[in-house]
Amino acid sequence: MAEETPGTTWYDHAAAADQARAAEAEHVTQRALFARVMFLVGVTCGFTAAGAFIGKDFTGGWMIGAWVIALVLVIASAFLKRPSGMLGMTLLFGVGLFLGMAVGPVLTMYVESGSAQVLWQAAGATGLFIAGFGAWGYATRRDLAPLARIAFWALLGLIGFGIVMIFVNIPGGRLIYAIFGLAIFAVWTMFDFQRLRRASTGNAAVPIALGIFLDVFNVFLFFLQILGGGGR
């Protein structure tokens, strides 16, 4: 019979065993949630690709309409009471589809102009960006919520800057816009992956997947603008 360490009892050993089992169960749950979220993000990206093909010949009015519908779906997802249900996934995939339609003509422009390699370069850079900052956010113990709030206000400022550029020609403005956009979404990417690590139920899968997908989508557009020469 194994000797007990001085100062410990069978109750201490049982409690330690229960804690170990609880930690293992939590680890399994987190892995399952991580896999589900990444699966949903991948499927949503597939809908975006399909939307880009459907909307490749869209003109200005159709593009604006697709942007508006996507925005409405994002807002609807934020107010959904049961985000993990079929309706939540439908809204998620709808966001991907209509955002794809909105950018379809832009992607087609790159292909038809012989610059298709820029799309692959932007996609590769996006993958490395999301993987790097996502891993940091998933691993860090620092609470990133305060940074995320700052990033939110910074994003509003960036949107305002983008509106100004519509009416005012700012030298290097598009490059500045893209670089600051990447900085903002670096924070959002870290925050969303931290949300993923801290989530404890499957109900969080769809909202977190939507957040990460929007990170991927926007980062891709920023890299496309940089690598494509400032958005030709």
The mean pLDDT value of the chain amounts to 85
The answer to whether the CB of 118 falls within 8 A of the CB of 223 is no
Mean pLDDT of all residues in 141-147: 93
Mean pLDDT of all residues in 192-201: 87
Domain spans, the chain: 11-227
Q: What is the pLDDT at residue 31?
A: 84
| pLDDT grade for 20, boundaries at 50, 70 and 90 | very low
Can you give the pTM of this predicted structure? 0.84
Q: What is the pLDDT at residue 172?
A: 85
32-35 contact pairs (CB < 8 A, 24+): 32/202, 33/196, 33/199, 33/201, 33/202, 33/204, 33/205, 34/196
| pLDDT grade for 25, boundaries at 50, 70 and 90 | very low
Mean pLDDT of all residues in 181-187: 96
The alpha carbon of residue 161 and the mean position of all alpha carbons in its chain are separated, in whole angstroms, by 22
pLDDT tens digits along 30-85: 788 899 999 999 999 999 999 999 999 898 889 999 999 999 999 988 887 666 67
Q: What is the pLDDT at residue 230?
A: 53
pLDDT tens digits along 95-108: 999 999 999 999 99
Amino acid type, 221: L
pLDDT above 90 (res 213): yes
| pLDDT grade for 29, boundaries at 50, 70 and 90 | confident
